[in-house]
Structure 1
Amino acid sequence: MKFKSTPNRCVNVDGAEIWISRSVTVLPVLFFVSKGVKYVPLGLRGEDLPEGVGQWGLPGGYLDYDETATEAVYREVWEELGLDIPQLIQDFRFEGNLDHPYEVYSTPLRRQNVTLKYALMFHLGEANLPPLDPQVSQGEVVEARWFDVATALTMPLAFNHHQVMRECLERYYAEPSRQQA
């Protein structure tokens, strides 16, 4: 895939690391259902990243200056996992919304001021999970791997992504009878 994005920059000012960006991140919360089992693709964070090194986490990152939030979701998932979201939407039943995040989180705990969370679920039927092939250096993503959701929810993931996944499943993909309870 080819993207027109302009990279964000990081500068050091008096020993403090400052990111020159739009201060908005996207966090696609991806689920895949294959042969009746729900999976999540996670990336192992590399040593070139400022936080969460050596931890598994969902793909995501900063919006670049010249891209929409949806374009950033496509780019981050492609870069960190090697998954082509537009092609997956074409090939499989898709449940989610790429036009509007399911949550806008606006508590500046780290470097960003706003995080846009996107719930994305692909129903593959009897098809196998697609291969994961990160397109960035191992300094950013050491490896990407599929985990069944039940296992991933018990893992200590970067940035509490296990809790993000749990909340997404409960709020966005809950059974109608559970939502009313």
Structure 2
Amino acid sequence: MSEPLVFKNRPNQPIVVEGKTYWISRSVTVVPVLLFAIERQLYVPLGKRGIDMPNEQGKWGLPGGYLDFDETTSEAVIREVYEETGLNLPYLMAHHRVVGDLEHPYLIESRPLYLQNVSLRFPLMIFVDDLPPLAAKVGVGEVEELRWVPVEEAIAQDLAFEHHLLIQHCLETYFCWNQAGDRTL
């Protein structure tokens, strides 16, 4: 069984000036396209955004978030996944076959559509016999609910921040996957 993870990051803190909140150093976000394969079926862990989130409340989405002070992008991915799903990526990657990596994003976008200027997408497919349990380490105000969703169902939903399009794009461009389920892994 895996041990709880400990992180060295210093969380970003906002300042409030005349009633308006400003975030210091919140310009980079990490978004792992985290897929779990059982035989030929792919699943994705999705979290329902809680009422304390600044936007997209009540919508389902991938784990991910802002890069904090004193952490690398791969450390941010590990931390965000652990906080929002309870999944211990270092443990899972050490004990299962993995395609993709946490050191090199497959896509970097720089367009201020939401709250960040740069978004790093990390592909990761983990081959398992059974789906591990999901249990967020943050409060329900951030992640209200968690569930495993077959990837075809996730792509068909209107996910937060257009994550359904991110999943589909990653599957098609990085994993060479198509809607018929043909894969070149």
Corresponding residue for residue 43 of structure 1: 47
Residue 142 of structure 2 aligns with which residue?
140
TM-score with structure 1 length normalisation? 0.92
Paired residue type of 1:57: G
Deviations 1:67-106 (A, max 9, x none): 0000000000000000000111111100002111001110
| TM-score, scaled to structure 2 | 0.90
**Unaligned segments of structure 1, at least 5 residues:** none
Deviation of the 1:157 alpha carbon = 0.3
Alignment of structure 1 residues 61-76 onto 2, 5 Å: 61-76=65-80
Local SS of the residue matching 1:153: helix
CA shift, 1:22, in A, is 4.3
Query: SS at the partner of 2:158?
Result: coil
User: Partner residue of 2:151?
Assistant: 149
What is the 5 A alignment of 1:20-31? Answer: 20-31=24-35
* Candidates 124, 127, 135, aligned match of 1:120: 124
1:19 corresponds to 2:16: no
Shift of 1:110: 1.9
Task: Give CA-to-partner distance per residue, 1:33-77, whole Å, 9 cap, x none.
Answer: 013311000010001110110000001111111000000000000
2:11 aligns with one of 7, 10, 33: 7
Name the Cα RMSD after superposition: 1.7
**Equivalent pairs, count:** 176
How many Å separate the matches in 2 of 1:166 and 1:111?
22
What secondary structure sits across from 1:163 in the alignment?
Answer: helix
- Residues 1:160 and 2:154 are matched in the alignment: no
Listed one character per residue, the Cα deviations across residues 1-57 of structure 1 (whole Å, up to 9, x for unaligned) are 111111111223344332112411100000000133110000100011101100000
